[in-house]
C-alpha cells in the first residue's frame, strides 16, 4: 500500500508530466514558467528528503547521469532501414508503379511526411517508461545515448495515459533536430564567448547527442519528432495514419504537417508544395517521405537488404557547385580566434556569387584533406553559409599545397595558443589590429549601433592609418578625416557622419551586444537590459544578483563582472557617453505593446523580419517562434507557414502587414 508521501510525489510527477506535454508537444502552456518552476522545486525537495522514492522516469532525472567513458552498443530488435531516394517527380512515379505492380492494384493510399535534416534515433519504452535510447548507427547496431536523450524535453520519460492503452513494449523511431533560430542564438552565444560556431543544424544535433557528459547535451536546443515504430507489444496499429495519432495520444511529439494521399498524384503535389514552403519552416527539411499507409500492404511488399519497398524519400536538390580554391587564408576574429577560409574562384549558388567559404578550423581542414589549388564541391549549408563539402582529389596535379595553421598571428605576429579541450587557436594580443577591426565591425553592425556605410573596407583604413583604435573613437571622426580615405568622396563622408550621428541614440540591449562582452549575444543582452534597465545598475550588479537570473549561468556571470572590472573597457564606455551616446534602456517599458506576444510567419515585403521584431520589442512587446494560447497576434506575410492554421485553431488574432504597421504606429 502506498504511503501518503509516495502518493504526493507521484501526483506531483503527473502534474509536471502533463505540463511538459502541453508545453513541449502541444505548444500551448497552461501555467506560467514561475508556476512550473515552483512545482518542479517542490518535487525536487520531496525527492531529496525521500531518495528511496526516486524513479528513473521522474521529471527530475533528465540530467542525472554522470559523464560516460564511451557509448556501448545497442542492437535494434528490428533493423532501422534506410530509405531509397528519389530526386525527381519521375523517380517518385516509378516508385509508385513498382508498388502497384507488386500489389497488383491500380492505386495505393500513401502518407506523405516532411523529411527533417536531423539524426535518427530509437526510443524503447517498457511498461510506459523510457528504458533506453540509441542512435540509428549502421541500422542494426546503434550507440546507447539514453542519458543524452533523457535531457530532451519533448521526449517523455513516461508515456502519457489516455484512451489508448499503454503498450508493454514500444520501440519508437524519430528524428532529433535543431530549429534554425535556436542554432543562430546558440552560435551568437558561442561567438560572443570566443568558441567555434556550428556550421548547420544537423551537425549541432549529431554532436550534441554524442556528448559524453549529458549536462552538456542538456544545454543544447534539441527537439524530436516521432514517425515510426519497431517492436510493439500490447497494442495493435494497422496504418501510418493511426500510428501518428496513437503516438500523439501517448504523449510523443509528431509532425502535424503530414498528409493522407489517396494516390501518388497527391503525394507528388505535397512534395512540390513542400519544396516551395520549406524555407518558411522553423527547421531544415531536405525532402518528403512517402509511405504506403496500410501496414498489411507493407508486409506484402517487404524489404530489400537495406531499404523497405513501401517507402521512398523524395529529396530536394541541395544546390552545389564545383570550383577551385585559389588559396587558404587565416582570418582573425574579434575574440582572437583564427579561422581558415577558402578563397574561391567565384561561382554562383542560389543566385549569389560565392568567393569565400569557411573551413571552420584546422581539424576540419585536415579531416577533409582540403588543399590550396584543389577543385572542390561547395554548398550553402542550410542554404545560407557557404562551406566546402569535399575535395575532388581525382583532379589533383601534384601542385596543390596542404594547409598549415601559422605558429604566430598573421595580423600582429603575436603568439597563438590552443586551449586544452578546444579545436580553436587564438591570438593572445588584445591590441591585434585584426581583432580591433572585427570588434569595430561588430560594434557598428545591424544588431549593434547599426552604422550604415561603415563596412570592413572603411574600417580597415581607419585602423591601419591609426585613426581608430577602439569603437568609441568612431564618434570623434570628422569630415576631413573621412575624405582622406580611399574611395571616400565628400557625399559619402557626409552620409557616414550622418549615420554615426543618428546611431548615438541606442537601446540598452543593443549597446550591451555592441560593446562585445564575452558570451553576451543578442538574447542574453535582451535579458540583461530587461532585468536591470540601466547600464549603471548592470555595472554595479553583484555575482549573486546575476546568478539569480535563470538564464544567466556562472560563466556568463564571470564574463560580465570581469568585463566591467577591466579599466580599459570602462574607458570605452565613458568615452561613448562623453561623445553623446544616449541609452534608451527603459523605453520598452513605456510602449503601448507591453507584454503583448507576437509571432511572425511568411515574408513582410516592406520590412525585414529583424526590423519587425525590433519594432515590437521597442514598444514593450515580445516575439515568440511558435503559436500558443499565450500568443496575442500572428503577423502573416507572403508565403506563410503552418502558424496561420495554428492561430485560427486557437482563436489567436491574425494581422496582415498593413494591420501590423497600423498597430505599431498608434
The CATH number of whichever domain residue 631 belongs to comes to: 3.40.50.10190
CB 403 within 8 A of CB 372: yes
Residues 350 and 440 in one domain: no
Q: Is 342 helix (H, G, I), strand (E, B) or coil?
A: strand
d(CA 624, CA 181): 11
Residue 391 lies in a domain: yes
Give, as one character, the DSSP assignment of residue 30: S
CB 204 within 8 A of CB 220: yes
Phi, psi of 459 (to 5 degrees): -60, -40
Phi, psi of 513 (to 5 degrees): -70, -40
Residues 273 and 347 in one domain: no
Closest CA to 156 of 355, 29, 16, 334: 16
Residues catalogued as catalytic: 115
* pLDDT recorded at residue 318: 60
Torsional sign, CA 44, 47, 48, 54: negative
Residues 252 and 155 in one domain: yes
Non-local (6+) Cβ contacts of 286 within 8 A are 115, 116, 117, 315, 316, 318
d(CA 85, CA 619): 49
Residue 93 lies in a domain: yes
Residues 399 and 293 in one domain: no
pLDDT digits (tens, 9 = 90+) for 460-501: 999 999 999 888 899 989 999 999 998 888 998 999 999 999
The residue out of 426, 452, 476 marking a domain boundary is: 426
φ/ψ bin of 164: left (φ > 0), alpha (ψ from -120 to 50), beta (otherwise): beta
Residue 616 lies in a domain: yes
Residues 244 and 291 in one domain: yes
Closest CA to 134 of 148, 119, 144: 144
Residue 79 lies in a domain: no
Residues in the chain: 666
Residues 365 and 266 in one domain: no
CB 209 within 8 A of CB 119: yes
d(CA 199, CA 183): 9
Phi, psi of 227 (to 5 degrees): -145, 0
Residues 23 and 162 in one domain: no
* pLDDT recorded at residue 350: 55
Residues 480 and 605 in one domain: no
Residues 126 and 274 in one domain: yes
Residues 505 and 532 in one domain: yes
- The model's pTM: 0.52
Question: How many domains, the chain?
Answer: 5
Residues 298 and 339 in one domain: no
d(CA 432, CA 435): 5
The CATH number of whichever domain residue 22 belongs to comes to: 1.10.287.610
Residue 353 lies in a domain: yes
Closest CA to 220 of 192, 187, 249, 250: 187
**Domain of 533, in residue numbers:** 433-583
d(CA 211, CA 369): 25
The residue out of 553, 583, 613 marking a domain boundary is: 583
Give, as one character, the DSSP assignment of residue 22: I
CB 278 within 8 A of CB 316: yes
- Give burial (CB, 10 Å; 0-12/13-18/19+) of 568: exposed
d(CA 467, CA 342): 30
Name residues of the chain where pLDDT drops below 70: 1-2, 23-29, 32-34, 37, 62-70, 305, 317-319, 350-352, 380-385, 419, 421, 585-591, 625
CA-based diameter of the chain, in Å?
88
Burial 490-507 (b: 16+ CB within 10 A, else e): eeebeebbebbeebeebb
Residue 302 lies in a domain: yes
Residues 410 and 454 in one domain: no
d(CA 40, CA 34): 10
The residue out of 366, 397, 426 marking a domain boundary is: 426
Residue 67 lies in a domain: no
The CATH number of whichever domain residue 556 belongs to comes to: 1.10.150.20
Residue 66 lies in a domain: no
Amino acid at each position: 500500500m502506498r504511503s501518503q508521501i509516495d502518493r504526493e510525489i507521484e501526483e506531483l510527477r503527473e502534474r509536471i508530466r502533463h505540463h511538459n506535454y502541453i508545453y513541449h508537444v502541444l505548444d500551448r502552456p497552461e501555467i506560467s514558467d514561475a508556476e512550473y518552476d515552483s512545482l518542479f522545486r517542490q518535487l525536487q525537495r520531496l525527492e531529496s528528503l525521500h531518495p528511496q522514492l526516486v524513479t528513473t522516469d521522474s521529471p527530475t532525472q533528465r540530467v542525472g547521469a554522470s559523464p560516460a567513458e564511451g557509448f556501448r552498443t545497442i542492437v535494434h530488435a528490428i533493423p532501422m532501414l534506410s530509405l531509397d531516394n528519389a530526386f525527381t517527380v519521375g523517380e517518385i512515379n516509378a516508385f509508385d508503379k513498382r508498388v502497384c505492380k507488386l500489389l497488383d492494384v491500380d492505386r495505393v493510399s500513401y502518407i506523405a511526411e516532411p523529411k527533417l535534416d536531423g539524426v535518427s534515433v530509437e526510443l524503447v519504452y517498457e511498461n510506459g517508461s523510457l528504458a533506453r535510447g540509441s542512435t540509428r548507427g549502421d541500422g542494426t547496431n546503434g550507440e546507447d545515448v539514453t542519458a543524452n536523450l533523457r535531457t530532451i524535453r519533448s521526449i517523455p520519460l513516461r508515456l502519457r495515459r489516455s484512451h489508448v492503452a499503454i503498450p508493454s513494449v514500444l520501440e519508437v523511431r524519430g528524428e532529433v533536430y535543431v530549429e534554425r533560430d535556436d542554432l543562430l542564438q546558440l552560435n551568437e552565444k558561442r561567438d560572443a564567448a570566443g568558441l567555434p560556431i556550428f556550421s548547420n543544424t544537423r551537425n549541432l544535433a549529431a554532436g550534441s547527442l554524442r556528448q559524453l557528459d549529458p549536462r552538456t547535451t542538456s544545454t543544447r536546443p534539441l527537439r524530436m519528432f516521432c514517425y515510426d515504430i519497431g517492436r510493439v507489444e500490447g497494442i495493435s496499429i494497422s496504418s501510418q495514419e493511426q500510428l501518428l495519432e496513437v503516438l500523439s495520444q501517448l504523449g510523443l511529439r509528431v509532425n502535424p504537417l503530414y498528409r493522407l494521399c489517396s494516390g501518388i498524384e497527391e503525394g507528388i503535389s505535397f512534395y512540390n508544395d513542400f519544396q516551395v514552403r520549406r524555407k518558411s519552416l522553423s527547421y531544415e527539411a531536405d525532402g518528403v517521405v512517402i509511405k504506403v499507409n496500410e501496414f498489411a500492404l507493407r508486409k506484402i511488399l517487404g524489404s530489400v537488404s537495406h531499404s523497405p519497398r513501401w517507402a521512398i524519400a523524395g529529396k530536394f536538390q541541395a544546390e552545389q557547385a564545383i570550383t577551385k580554391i585559389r588559396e587558404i587564408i587565416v582570418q582573425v576574429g574579434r575574440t582572437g580566434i583564427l579561422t581558415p577560409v577558402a578563397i574561391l574562384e567565384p561561382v554562383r549558388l542560389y543566385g549569389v556569387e560565392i568567393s569565400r567559404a569557411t573551413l571552420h578550423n584546422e581539424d576540419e581542414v585536415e579531416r577533409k584533406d582540403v588543399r590550396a589549388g584543389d577543385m572542390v564541391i561547395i554548398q550553402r549549408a542550410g542554404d545560407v553559409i557557404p562551406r566546402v563539402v569535399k575535395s575532388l582529389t581525382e583532379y589533383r596535379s601534384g601542385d596543390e599545397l596542404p594547409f598549415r595553421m601559422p605558429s604566430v598571428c598573421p595580423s600582429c605576429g603575436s603568439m597563438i595558443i590552443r586551449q586544452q579541450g578546444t579545436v580553436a587557436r587564438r591570438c593572445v594580443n588584445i591590441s591585434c589590429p585584426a581583432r580591433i577591426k572585427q570588434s569595430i565591425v561588430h560594434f557598428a553592425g545591424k544588431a549593434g549601433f547599426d552604422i550604415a556605410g561603415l563596412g570592413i573596407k572603411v574600417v580597415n583604413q581607419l585602423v591601419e592609418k591609426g585613426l581608430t583604435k577602439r569603437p568609441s573613437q568612431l564618434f570623434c571622426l570628422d569630415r576631413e578625416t573621412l575624405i582622406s580615405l580611399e574611395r571616400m568622396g565628400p557625399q559619402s563622408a557626409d552620409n557616414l557622419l550622418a549615420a554615426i550621428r543618428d546611431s548615438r541614440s541606442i537601446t540598452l540591449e543593443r549597446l550591451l551586444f555592441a560593446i562585445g562582452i564575452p558570451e553576451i549575444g543578442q538574447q542574453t543582452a535582451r535579458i540583461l537590459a530587461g532585468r536591470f534597465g540601466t547600464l549603471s545598475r548592470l555595472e554595479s550588479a553583484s555575482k549573486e544578483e546575476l546568478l539569480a537570473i535563470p538564464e544567466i549561468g556562472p560563466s556568463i556571470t564571470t564574463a560580465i563582472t570581469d568585463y566591467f572590472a577591466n579599466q580599459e573597457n570602462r574607458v570605452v564606455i565613458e568615452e561613448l557617453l562623453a561623445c553623446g551616446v544616449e541609452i534608451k534602456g527603459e523605453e520598452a517599458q513605456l510602449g503601448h505593446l507591453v507584454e503583448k506576444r507576437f509571432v511572425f510567419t511568411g515574408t513582410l515585403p516592406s520590412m525585414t523580419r529583424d526590423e519587425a521584431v525590433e519594432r515590437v520589442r521597442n514598444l514593450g512587446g515580445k516575439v515568440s517562434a511558435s503559436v500558443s494560447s499565450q500568443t496575442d497576434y500572428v503577423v502573416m506575410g507572403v508565403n506563410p507557414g503552418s502558424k496561420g492554421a495554428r492561430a485560427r485553431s486557437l482563436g489567436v488574432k491574425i494581422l496582415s502587414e498593413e494591420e501590423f504597421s497600423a498597430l505599431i504606429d498608434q
